[in-house]
RNA sequence: GCCGAAGUGGCGGAACUGGCAGACGCGCUGGACUCAAAAUCCAGUGCCCCUCGGGGCGUGUGGGUUCGAUUCCCACCUUCGGCACCA
């Protein structure tokens, strides 16, 4: 038997697969060719940053196992790959080291593609797409135009998150703890005119359709919290002197009679008008200016004492007509609710803290069940608890709180001073970026016509060349004057192009649709094709995308569904999050410089060993602490497999397919375990252990008559994990094309045993194990248990009060 | 603070529906082969006690339910995620 030469075997089979186009899946040619057994396997596409890291290896190997498993179970599996190739890292590298972002990106793509092929993943490379190629972003622009036309993309001036380091705006989803999630710089609030997608219009749909999904509960919870739906009411508060109604949202309409003041956000558009001409005007304006200079982190710091100023104005509480003072305070946020709140210090912690600081009155209006109110002095912020009743609330006093809330809203609604309302924490998605390496936004600004979309036939708007990628107060594209100047498509007059580019999350919000029809140059995708392949049957990616990519992509699909371009409402039916690969406790990533390159490992141990190792380490959804020593174990297993199966192949050519015997039985048990683990439990580490057991048994009896069947089964079952060695051994066993073979089937008859090991307990403690015939009845089992000398020693003549029998497992004798 | 997940040998982990805790692997110890090494193979390996038959303890901590609990219930501790002035 020759030595196991991983490099030679892997090169050989990778060439065979490519020559035979083993994993390329053509599109169906018409409705007649559609079959029900399609399976769309997708992993989140990589950002092309130099090299693959072990996190990618985990992600894509996991997808590869599922791909092989589903293929061999008869499914037509679509398993494409592409690159999220626009984005800041390449642009920053170009600024730092020179070169063009495109060159840097394409070099990375070439390298990563080579590394992916080296690991032997079963990918349909014909469907490869890259976000930065005009053939792709042409359609990103086209989709933008559809959104614009539908009123779902719009431009407005708004306070936005500005990263002073990356010199660009960030979406809310890209700000973590007040910092830029990419570079860590503290984010500033700026008022800028920006492009937004109206994702808030889909807030309810995004929540409701969670029920259609087979997703981890924690991911759905994260999305639900992020969307943050709150039910309540909006009431109108009147400023008599100015003949003005100001709406305010509250989730506690039952406490309306307890309002003792009213607060506007500093950004509220009415502030200026309210304070005009009052003695406090200068102070108030100064306060608004000061607030504007706070960073988002500072403003949100709950430790900071609440601040505010009195405007000098009063509003009427619509419930009791009380004249209450209007304040401006930065604890009220402009972009939630209406930017104004009805302050009820007796029943809200924040209002209470503010009232204490500025000596404002506190009025209790809800009493707990026991009637022992605290006069509102604790500022008890409690959601409705059982038995609470309204007090000091005119005709509503005495009502239980939930009924009171409802009654107050109905009453004020009938008088035109209120209505039921819902507020969301979710904000519209700000998607324009003041950077170079992204998809140009296809509009022009015309002095006469305003914002004018670039006509579809003029797409793509090709990303122009610029001399300097550094943003200097304006987007880099604006520096290319020649490109910027353009004739207005509507009136032909002088116009200027949009110089901002799109957030890269726009690119990745529809790539899974393009894979279905990747080369079409007349449409982004044909509806018939996406309706066939979509939704993705199994999506695999990091949970860090729970509220970014996974929310944006759902939004895109919902819009495309409503516009009639796709026939489904959700993109990703089943979702799985692989864990992080950590080193020294932190996530492995290039920016942390703690990457172990898969290349080196593949050179040393072979791709099969790397693939096996990354899945054998533990459950795929848990984090893995990188430990290079352990890969020796999987390499050793592969050598053992090679030797043992190779020996069988040389020794036992053909013969009876499945002779009865312990190895045949073990093989069937292993088939059952592996099939259930991958297919039902989606667990990837234990199948490897099961095959190791089978190989260990085989190694102990390599000359047994059923050795050949055990060897073939082991090779067949390990194929999704270690496809190269499996293919080579399969060939040596006298077969061909294991990747096309049906997944092995369990024969239930082969699982049956004549005897089993009966566990005998006394008072729940194991005292003996006896081999007994499988057909024995309960009484017989109890007799055998009692007869055991070890049990006799424990019984010591005591009375047996009860015997619990678990068929095929154990007998428990309960003694006094 | 609120919400969620998880705590099992020296290490990674297994035990799916309440039924043999520690599968499989790493590491370690001893042995075989070898001039030697690598590779490979065999045996052992939770902790403690032992008259070598076996016995006791043991799945974060403390309770509970049960013939029987890593698994179910209650309380607590620790770690890791998410949210956090959202009215």
Tell me which residue has tokens 């972009």: A335
CA of A815 to C1' of B68 (A): 13
Tell me which residue has tokens 């592996």: A674
Question: What percent of chain A is modeled with pLDDT above 70?
Answer: 94
Q: Is the CB of A696 under 7 A from strand B?
A: yes
Number of other residues whose CB lies within 10 A of the CB of residue A801: 9
CA of A618 to C1' of B19 (A): 26
Q: Is the CB of A801 under 7 A from strand B?
A: no
Q: What is the pLDDT of residue A368?
A: 75
Residue A809 pLDDT > 80, yes or no? yes
Q: Which nucleotide is nearest to A228 (CA to C1')?
A: B86
Q: Which nucleotide is nearest to A814 (CA to C1')?
A: B67
Q: Which nucleotide is nearest to A586 (CA to C1')?
A: B80
Average pLDDT over residues A115-124: 97
The strand B neighbours among A residues 332-371, by Cβ under 7 Å, are 332-334, 336-337, 339, 341-342, 344, 348, 350
Cis bond before residue A535 (omega within 30° of 0): yes
Higher per-residue confidence, A509 vs A781: A509
Token pair belonging to A15: 């060439």
CA of A54 to C1' of B81 (A): 21
Q: Is the CB of A235 under 7 A from strand B?
A: no
d(CA A676, CA A690): 12
Residue A593 pLDDT > 70, yes or no? no
Residue A767 pLDDT > 90, yes or no? no
How sure is the predictor about A288, in pLDDT bands with cuts at 50, 70 and 90? Answer: very high
Residue A378 pLDDT > 50, yes or no? no
Q: What is the pLDDT of residue A592?
A: 46
Q: Which nucleotide is nearest to A762 (CA to C1')?
A: B67
- For the stretch A611-668, pLDDT in tens is 999 999 889 998 887 777 788 899 999 999 999 999 999 886 665 577 888 999 999 9
Q: What is the pLDDT of residue A583?
A: 66
The strand B neighbours among A residues 449-478, by Cβ under 7 Å, are none
- In a 10 Å sphere around its CB, with 0-12 CB exposed, 13-18 middle and 19+ buried, how is residue A764 labelled? exposed
Angle at A693 (CA atoms; ends A638, A672), nearest 5 degrees: 110
Q: What is the pLDDT of residue A777?
A: 87
CA of A406 to C1' of B74 (A): 37
CA of A295 to C1' of B77 (A): 37
Higher per-residue confidence, A159 vs A508: A508
d(CA A114, CA A102): 18
Average pLDDT over residues A429-449: 95
Helix (H, G, I), strand (E, B) or coil at A59: helix
The strand B neighbours among A residues 740-769, by Cβ under 7 Å, are 757, 759, 761, 763-767, 769
In this structure, are residues A291 and A330 in contact, taking their beta carbons and an 8 Å threshold? Answer: yes
> How much is the pTM?
0.93
- For the stretch A55-114, pLDDT in tens is 899 999 999 999 999 999 999 999 999 999 999 889 989 988 889 999 999 999 999 999
Q: Is the CB of A543 under 7 A from strand B?
A: yes
d(CA A237, CA A245): 5
Helix (H, G, I), strand (E, B) or coil at A803: strand
Residue nearest to nucleotide B6 (CA to C1'): A622
Average pLDDT taken over every residue of chain A:
90
Angle at A46 (CA atoms; ends A42, A49), nearest 5 degrees: 170
Residue A701 pLDDT > 70, yes or no? yes
Worst-scoring range by mean pLDDT, A191-205, A634-648, A767-781?
A: A767-781
Helix (H, G, I), strand (E, B) or coil at A274: helix
Q: What is the pLDDT of residue A127?
A: 98
Q: What is the pLDDT of residue A381?
A: 41
The alpha-carbon radius of gyration of chain A (Å, integer) is: 34
In the DSSP assignment, the letter for residue A425 is S
How much of chain A is in helix, strand and coil states, percent to nearest 5? 40, 20, 40
Q: Is the CB of A382 under 7 A from strand B?
A: no
CA of A218 to C1' of B8 (A): 24
Q: Which nucleotide is nearest to A299 (CA to C1')?
A: B85
- For the stretch A218-229, pLDDT in tens is 899 889 889 988
Show the DSSP H helices in A511-548 as ranges: 511-514, 527-533
Number of other residues whose CB lies within 10 A of the CB of residue A456: 12
CA of A371 to C1' of B75 (A): 29
The strand B neighbours among A residues 556-595, by Cβ under 7 Å, are none
Q: Is the CB of A121 under 7 A from strand B?
A: no
Average pLDDT over residues A113-129: 97
ipTM for the assembly? 0.94
d(CA A527, CA A516): 10
Worst-scoring range by mean pLDDT, A100-114, A182-196, A337-351?
A: A182-196
Residue A382 pLDDT > 50, yes or no? no
CA of A694 to C1' of B52 (A): 34
- Write out the DSSP string of A320-378: T--EEEEEEETTS-TTSTTSEEEE-GGG-HHHHHHHHHHT------EE-TTS---TTTT
Average pLDDT over residues A253-270: 94
- Within 7 Å of a protein beta carbon, the nucleotides of strand B are 3-5, 11-16, 19-21, 23-27, 39-42, 54-56, 67-69, 81-87
Q: Is the CB of A304 under 7 A from strand B?
A: yes
Angle at A608 (CA atoms; ends A603, A612), nearest 5 degrees: 120
Residue A33 pLDDT > 70, yes or no? no
- For the stretch A272-282, pLDDT in tens is 999 999 988 99
Q: What is the pLDDT of residue A652?
A: 66
CA of A619 to C1' of B42 (A): 32
Q: What is the pLDDT of residue A379?
A: 46
């Amino acid at each position: 038997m020759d030595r196991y030469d991983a490099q030679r075997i892997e090169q050989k089979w990778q060439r065979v697969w490519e020559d035979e186009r083993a994993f390329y899946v053509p599109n169906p040619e018409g409705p007649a060719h559609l079959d029900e057994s399609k399976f769309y396997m997708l992993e989140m596409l990589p950002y092309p940053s130099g090299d693959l890291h072990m996190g990618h290896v985990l992600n894509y190997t996991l997808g590869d196992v599922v791909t092989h498993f589903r293929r061999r179970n008869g499914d037509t599996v679509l398993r494409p790959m592409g690159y999220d190739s626009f984005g800041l890292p390449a642009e920053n590298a170009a600024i730092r080291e020179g070169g063009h972002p495109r060159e840097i990106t394409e070099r990375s793509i070439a390298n990563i593609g080579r590394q992916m092929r080296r690991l032997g993943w079963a990918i349909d490379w014909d469907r490869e797409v890259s976000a930065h190629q005009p053939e792709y972003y042409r359609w990103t622009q086209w989709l933008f135009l559809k959104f614009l036309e539908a009123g779902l993309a719009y431009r407005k001036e708004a306070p936005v998150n500005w990263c002073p380091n990356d010199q660009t705006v960030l979406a809310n989803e890209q700000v973590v703890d007040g910092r830029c999630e990419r570079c860590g710089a503290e984010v500033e609030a700026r008022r800028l005119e920006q492009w937004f997608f109206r994702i808030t219009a889909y807030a309810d749909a995004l929540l409701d359709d969670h029920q259609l999904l087979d997703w981890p509960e924690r991911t759905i919870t994260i999305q639900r919290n992020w969307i943050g739906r709150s039910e309540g009411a909006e009431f109108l508060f009147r400023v008599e002197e100015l003949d003005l109604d100001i709406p305010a949202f509250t989730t506690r309409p039952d406490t309306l009679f307890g309002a003792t003041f009213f607060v506007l956000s500093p950004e509220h558009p009415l502030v200026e008008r309210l304070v005009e001409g009052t003695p406090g005007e200068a102070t108030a304006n100064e306060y608004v200016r000061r607030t504007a200079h706070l960073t988002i982190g500072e403003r949100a710091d709950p430790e900071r004492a609440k601040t505010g100023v009195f405007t000098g104005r009063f509003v009427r509480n619509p419930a009791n007509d009380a004249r209450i003072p209007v304040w401006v305070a930065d604890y009220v946020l402009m972009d939630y609710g209406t930017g104004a709140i009805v302050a009820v210090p007796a029943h809200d912690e924040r209002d209470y803290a503010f009232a204490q600081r500025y000596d404002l009155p506190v009025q209790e209006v809800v009493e707990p069940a026991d009637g022992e109110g605290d006069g509102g002095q604790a500022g008890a912020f409690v959601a409705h608890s059982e038995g609470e009743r309204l007090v000091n609330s005119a005709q509503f006093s005495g009502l239980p709180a939930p009924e009171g809330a409802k009654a107050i809203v109905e009453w004020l609604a009938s008088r035109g001073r209120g209505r039921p309302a819902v507020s969301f924490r979710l904000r519209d998605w700000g998607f324009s970026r003041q950077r170079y390496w992204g998809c140009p936004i296809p509009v022009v600004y015309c002095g006469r016509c305003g914002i004018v979309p670039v006509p579809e036939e003029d797409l793509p708007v090709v990303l122009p060349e610029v001399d300097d990628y550094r943003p200097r107060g304006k987007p880099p594209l604006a520096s290319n004057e020649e490109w910027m100047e353009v004739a207005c498509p509507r009136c032909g007059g002088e116009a200027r192009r949009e110089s901002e580019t799109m957030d890269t999350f726009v690119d990745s919000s529809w790539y899974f649709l393009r894979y279905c029809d990747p080369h079409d140059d007349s449409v982004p995708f044909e509806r018939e094709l996406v309706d066939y392949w979509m939704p993705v049957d199994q999506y695999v990616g990091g949970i860090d995308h729970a509220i970014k990519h996974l929310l944006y992509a759902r939004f895109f699909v919902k819009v495309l569904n409503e516009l009639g371009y796709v026939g489904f409402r959700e993109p990703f039916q089943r979702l799985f999050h692989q864990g992080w690969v950590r080193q020294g406790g932190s996530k492995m990533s290039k920016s942390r410089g703690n990457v172990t390159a898969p290349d080196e490992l593949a050179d040393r141990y072979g791709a099969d060993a790397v693939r096996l190792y990354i899945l054998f380490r533990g459950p795929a959804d848990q984090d893995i602490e990188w430990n290079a020593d352990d890969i020796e174990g999987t390499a050793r297993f592969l050598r053992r497999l090679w030797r043992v199966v190779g020996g069988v192949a040389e020794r036992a050519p053909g013969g009876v397919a499945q002779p009865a015997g312990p190895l045949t039985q073990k093989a069937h048990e292993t088939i059952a375990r592996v099939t259930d683990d991958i297919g039902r439990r989606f667990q990837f580490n234990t199948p490897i252990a099961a095959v190791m057991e089978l190989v260990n048994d085989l190694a102990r009896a390599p000359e047994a008559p059923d050795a050949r069947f055990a060897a073939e089964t082991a090779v067949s079952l390990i194929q999704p994990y270690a496809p190269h060695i499996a293919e080579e051994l399969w060939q040596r066993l006298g077969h061909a094309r294991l990747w096309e073979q049906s997944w092995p089937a369990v024969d239930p008859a082969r699982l049956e045993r004549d005897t089993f090991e009966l566990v005998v307990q006394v008072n729940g403690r194991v005292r003996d194990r006896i081999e007994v015939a499988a057909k024995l009845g309960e009484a017989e089992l109890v007799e055998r248990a009692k007869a055991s000398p070890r049990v006799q020693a424990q019984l010591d003549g005591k009375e047996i009060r009860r015997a619990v029998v678990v068929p095929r497992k154990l007998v428990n004798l309960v003694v006094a």
